[in-house]
Chain A
C-alpha cells in the first residue's frame, strides 16, 4: 500500500500541466497530421478523406516552394550572422573597453522590444525617399529606393531586422560563457607567444561550443517560428518574396480559410522542427562535450 502513494501523488501533481500540454501541444500536433488527409469543410459539405491530395497540391503549389525557399534563405542568413555578431559583441564587452556597461546595454536593448514595435521603427527606416536609409543615400546623391517594395531587397531588409533583434540576446549567453573561461589560459597563451586570433580559434571558440549549440538551436527555431515582422512590414510581398512558411500557413489558414491545406503545410513546419530536435538529441549533444 505504502509503495503506491508516491506514484499516485506524482501523477496527481503532473496531471494539470499534462492535461494542458496534451490539449494544446500534443493533440493539435496529431490532429494536424490527421486533418492533412482531409479536404477543407465548406458550408454544408463536411470534410472528407482525400488521402495524399493536400500534399500533391502542395508539391504543385509554387507559392509553397517560394515560401520554403525564402525561409531557408532567411535561416541561412540570420543564423550565422547573428551568431558571429553575438560572439564579436561578447568578446568586446568582456574586455576592459571604454563605456562597457553602456555598450552592453546598446547591444541588448533590441531584445526587450516587441518585434511588432521593432518592425514599425524599421518600416520608417526603410521608407522610400524620407526614411533614414534613403536620406543617407541622398547625401551621396543616390536616388530613392523602395527597400521593402522591391523584390531584390525586401527579404534582405527582414533579415537585417532579425539579426539586429537577435544578436544582442545571443550575446549574453556568450558573455556568460566567456566569463567562465579562466584568465590564466589567456596569460599562458600570450607567454607562449600565441596571437589573439590563434588563441580564439584554438582555445576560446572550442570552449564556447556548448553555448554555440544552445544558441544555434534557438536561432533555428526562431527562424521558423517568428513571422511578426512579415505581418507588419511586407505581408509576404512583393510577389511573395518575403513570405515565410509560418506566414504562408497563417495566410492559408486565416485569410483563405483552407484548413486542410494549412494542416499539410503545418506538417512541413513540424517536420523541420522535429528534424532539428533529432539532430540535437542524437548528434550534436554527443559530439560537443568538452567539460
Chain B
C-alpha cells in the first residue's frame, strides 16, 4: 500500500517539475500566438493570431539573419569535418615524433575555448581584416579539439585488416581514410555534426563582438539587437521573434529527438 502511494507521489512530483520546466516555453508560445492584450491574460478562448510573427518578420531583416546563421553553421561544420578528420586520422593511426605532446596541446582547447579568448582573437581578426565577416565568426572554431578527440576514438576501433586490405587494393593514405575510415565512423560524424550545429546556431558572444552589420549578423545577435532596441517592450512581438529564432533547431529536435539525444550521449561519453 505505502509503496503505491510512494509511486504515485513520485509521478506527481516528476510531472510538477516537468510542467515547471515547460512553463517558460508554453508561456512564450501563448504570448506569441495571441493578440497583445492577451499576452498576460489567460483567457482560454482568446483568439489565435499570426500577426505577431508577421510584425516581427517585417520589423527586422530576419530572412537575412537566417541566411547568415545558415552560412555560419555550414562554414564551421565543413571546416571542422575536414580538419578534424585529417588530424584524428594522424593521431589514431600514425606514429610520429611529438605525437603525444601534440595531442595534449590539442586537448588544451577543451578547457580554454575560443569563447574566452575574445580580446586577442578580435585583435587577430582585425589584423586579417576579417571583422564583420562570416569567416571572422567561423575561423576560431574550425579546428575543434572535441571533434578531433571524438573521431580519433572512432578511428581507433577500425580493424587494421581493413586498412591493409585497402592498401593491397592500391589505395594511398588519403584513399584509405576516405574509403575505409570515414564510412565506418558515420554515426560519430552524425553525432558530431548535430552537436556542432546546435552549438553554433545558438552561439552568441563571439558573433556579437565580431559582427556589426545586418549582412553578417547571425540570428542570435539579430534577435538581441531587435529585442533591446527596436521594440521597446512589445512582448508579443519579441516572443514571436524569439520563437522564430529558436524554431528551426527546436522543430528539428522534436522530429529527430532520438538521434539528437543519442548524439549528445555519444559525444559526451568517451
Contacts and interface: CB of A to CB of B under 8 A. Distances in A.
Interface of A: 6-11, 13-14, 16-21, 23-29, 31-32, 35, 85, 88-89, 92-93, 95, 97-99, 102-118, 120-122, 124-125, 127, 130-132, 135, 164, 168-169, 172-173, 176, 214, 221, 224-225, 227-228, 231-232, 246, 249-250, 253-254, 259, 262-263, 266, 269-270, 273-274, 276-277
B10 A97 contact: yes
Nearest to B17: A89
Contact of A113 (B102, B108, B123, B250): B250
Contacts of B90: 9-11, 13-14
14 contacts: A21-B143, A24-B140, A92-B13, A95-B10, A99-B15, A106-B22, A107-B17, A114-B220, A114-B249, A117-B220, A120-B227, A228-B220, A253-B122, A254-B118
B224 to A, nearest CB: 6
A114 to B, nearest CB: 4
Nearest to A110: B21
A234 B51 CA distance: 29
Nearest to A274: B111
A116 B56 CA distance: 16
Given A10-B96, A13-B89, A106 B19 contact: yes
Q: Which of B31, B205, B250 has the most CB of A within 10 A?
A: B205
A271 B97 CA distance: 30
A121 B239 contact: yes
Contacts of B102: 14, 18
B242 A231 contact: no
Contacts of B19: 106
B69 to A, nearest CB: 10
A218 to B, nearest CB: 8
B46 interface: no
B269 A173 contact: yes
A27 B94 CA distance: 26
Return the 5 tightest CB-CB contacts between A and B, nearest first. Answer: A10-B94, A28-B120, A20-B143, A10-B96, A114-B202
